[in-house]
Every structure is written in structure tokens, then in C-alpha cells.
Amino acid sequence: MSTATNALFSVRVPRSAEDSEYLVVAASAEAAAGLYVAAVMADGAEAISVEPEEMAEAGELYVDKIGEAAEGEPRILDWGSVETITRQLKPIEKETVSLAGFEAWAAWLEDEGIEP
């Protein structure tokens, strides 16, 4: 099922020591950040290579809209993906999304004994 209202976003942890950027197809910057946070907090093996401790230090994510009318369901594009994407050289829109308010993030903070 194609969802024409989705866009392509770049989501990353500010000032990360690692390459924390992932491309995410979602309807909004907040939805893209939510998919990113859920993937980082997923049980078992890390779904994406981002350290929650770095996210805790930053307290926010940088979300840049880099493409319009992305096709398909909301998802994170894996680094090894063979999907063809069209990407602008500059962001169309930039937003900063606070980590506060995401259930997966709140659960991790609670597990680590960190005050939100």
C-alpha cells in the first residue's frame, strides 16, 4: 500500500561521535523521530547503531525533511538497503524533536534510573 503523504527524513543525534544518521520514511518529523527512537530502544540486538546514552546526553534529535512524496509504508531505510531513493542536497525543512514524550524512551530512562 503506497502512502503518498509520506516524506523522506534524515534523523540523527546532535553532536554524535558516531554516524547516527538514518533515512526514515514517515508522515512528519515527529513520526520519523518516533520510528527512530523505537528502533534504538527495540528489544534484543540493536536495530540501529545508535547509543541511547548519546541520545540521553543530547535530549533531542535533528530531523531534516530531505524528500517529498516518499512511497511505501513508514519505515527506516537500513544502511545496506538496495531501495532507490531521491535525496535533495539541502533539507527542505529542519526540525528538532525532543525525546521527552516517547514511550520507548521513557521506559529506557526508567530502566536506567535516569530522571526525565
Is it the case that residue 29 has pLDDT exceeding 70?
yes
Q: Answer whether residue 2 is part of any domain.
A: no
Q: Answer whether residue 70 is part of any domain.
A: yes
pLDDT value at residue 26? 95
Enclosing domain of residue 74: 7-112
Q: Answer whether residue 25 is part of any domain.
A: yes
Give the pLDDT band (50/70/90) at residue 115: confident
Average pLDDT value for residue range 17-44: 88
Average pLDDT value for residue range 6-33: 91
Q: What are the Cα distances from residue 13, in Å, to 2, 49, 57, 62?
A: 29, 11, 10, 6
pLDDT digits (tens, 9 = 90+) for 54-108: 888 889 999 999 888 888 889 988 766 666 665 555 667 788 889 988 999 999 9
pLDDT value at residue 4? 55
Q: Answer whether residue 22 is part of any domain.
A: yes
pLDDT value at residue 9? 93
Beta bridge partners of 116: none
pTM over 0.85: no
Q: Answer whether residue 88 is part of any domain.
A: yes
pLDDT digits (tens, 9 = 90+) for 34-51: 999 988 888 655 667 788
Phi, psi of 41 (to 5 degrees): -90, 0
Q: Answer whether residue 44 is part of any domain.
A: yes
Give the pLDDT band (50/70/90) at residue 5: confident
Three-state SS at 23: strand
Q: Answer whether residue 37 is part of any domain.
A: yes
Beta bridge partners of 63: 11, 95
Q: Answer whether residue 1 is part of any domain.
A: no
How many independent structural domains does the chain possess? 1
